[in-house]
Amino acid sequence: MNNCTEIAEPELGRDGLDAQESDHQTSLAKRFEGALAHCKVETECLDNRLWDELPERERTARLIGAMGSQSKAARYRDCYVNAIPVDCPACLEKYFSRYSCTLRYCEHCGQWHFSRLMRKYREPISKLIAEGRRRGKTLAMLTFTIRAYDRMPERDEPRRLLQLVRKLFRALGLPDKEWGCIFAVETGHELAVKHPGRKAEGWNLHVHALYYGPYLNWSDGIQRWKELTAGQGQGFYIKQCPSWRRDPERAVRRALVHHFGYILKPAAVTAERIAALEVLFSGIRRVHALGLFYRLPKSETPIPGPRCPKCGHALPLNLRAWHKSERVPVSELEAEGRRDWRAVKRELGRALAFGGRAP
């Protein structure tokens, strides 16, 4: 079957479903379905290939683009495979630095997000707890769930859920300066194999929180959660962090590793789901803070800048603000004899660990 007449109009081919205004009434799930159908036809007609033959990253990028975020799509495409050249000003060694798209669900950028969040929260939170009065308090992981979805949620649904969690904390009437929490909204995991009887295909939205403060009353919490969500609220779970009083620093680190851990886990199995998640959470801050954890003092540990692995001199690199035109394919840079400075650093580290000499 040939659907190519459908994309004969060039403007339809370029920006896909661009008219966000007129799509207002259409659900996000429907728009996404439409974008996917459109991408498939376009791939068959313009590339003369089947959608499933495209590399996964390309599929995700095309879908993100078709949903209206062309620059995000370009960033995702360039991540890791494009880089910028950099020369060490001291020893003149020639390197390149791989581009990071910093998209939420990018497999190459998970570690970057994880380190950034740990740097922001670990030290200030453990300091705050270690210096505070611990009697009558708890450090706990909380989970808030709502009834499962059987489709991709609307864009305002994650935001609404975050808003409800805020309201809940306000309603609990906790004493000022005695409590704090950070929380994040996420979806369930997409399964590689569909389970019969499992609802929502992993689209169930829920909120995880790390809470520190006076003990919470579970039955009060679940009742308020059900009220706030107009009966949509399913569950409210409290799990105290083990031995947090004895070793707050360790407990906070473990809790945060757990809390931010989902960032490192692949959030999705398919390229299409990664695109859908990227679209759904676009513009929503990842971690939200309340009470004592809002406006935490900055961590005092300095962020190490990029350094030449051979001579230790600072590399003149701006790790984030690279314009698209500055990104060059890694293959070209390698052909010039340049090397990935991070890879060289790892190699040197390994050589030293085995007692060998630097290459």
Using the minimum distance from each CB to Zn ion, give the nearer residue, 110 or 202.
110
Using the minimum distance from each CB to Zn ion, give the nearer residue, 75 or 137.
75
Compute the distance between CA of residue 270 and CA of residue 192 in angstroms, rounded to an integer. Answer: 8
Q: Which of 4, 130, 191, 311 binds Zn ion (CB under 5 A)?
A: 311
Question: In Å, what is the CA distance from 144 to each residue of 51, 77, 153, 243?
Answer: 37, 35, 17, 23
Using the minimum distance from each CB to Zn ion, give the nearer residue, 248 or 309.
309
Q: Which of 28, 54, 84, 88 binds Zn ion (CB under 5 A)?
A: 88
| Least Cβ distance, residue 79 to Zn ion (angstroms) | 3
| Least Cβ distance, residue 334 to Zn ion (angstroms) | 19
Using the minimum distance from each CB to Zn ion, give the nearer residue, 103 or 256.
103
Name all contacts of 77-80 with Cβ < 8 Å and 24+ positions apart.
78/324, 78/327, 79/103, 79/106, 79/108, 79/109, 80/108, 80/330
| Least Cβ distance, residue 86 to Zn ion (angstroms) | 10
Residue (of 170, 212, 165, 211) closest to 185 by Cα position: 165
| Coil/strand/helix, residue 329 | strand
| Bridge partners (DSSP) listed for residue 139 | 212
| Least Cβ distance, residue 332 to Zn ion (angstroms) | 19
Compute the distance between CA of residue 261 and CA of residue 158 in angstroms, rounded to an integer. Answer: 19
Query: Which 106-165 positions form the footprint of Zn ion (CB under 5 A)?
Result: 106, 108-109
DSSP, res 211: E
Using the minimum distance from each CB to Zn ion, give the nearer residue, 50 or 311.
311
Instruction: Considering only the stretches 75-83, 119-127, 138-146, 247-255, report the one whose residues sit in contact with Zn ion under the rule CB under 5 A.
Output: 75-83
Q: Which of 280, 308, 333, 341 binds Zn ion (CB under 5 A)?
A: 308
Q: Could you tell me how many residues of this chain bind Zn ion (CB under 5 A)?
A: 13
Question: In Å, what is the CA distance from 78 to each residue of 101, 172, 240?
Answer: 7, 46, 42
| Least Cβ distance, residue 345 to Zn ion (angstroms) | 11
Q: Which of 35, 67, 83, 101 binds Zn ion (CB under 5 A)?
A: 101
Tell me the one-letter amino acid at 42: E
DSSP, res 116: H
Contact set with Zn ion (CB under 5 A): 79, 88, 90-91, 93, 101, 106, 108-109, 308, 310-311, 313
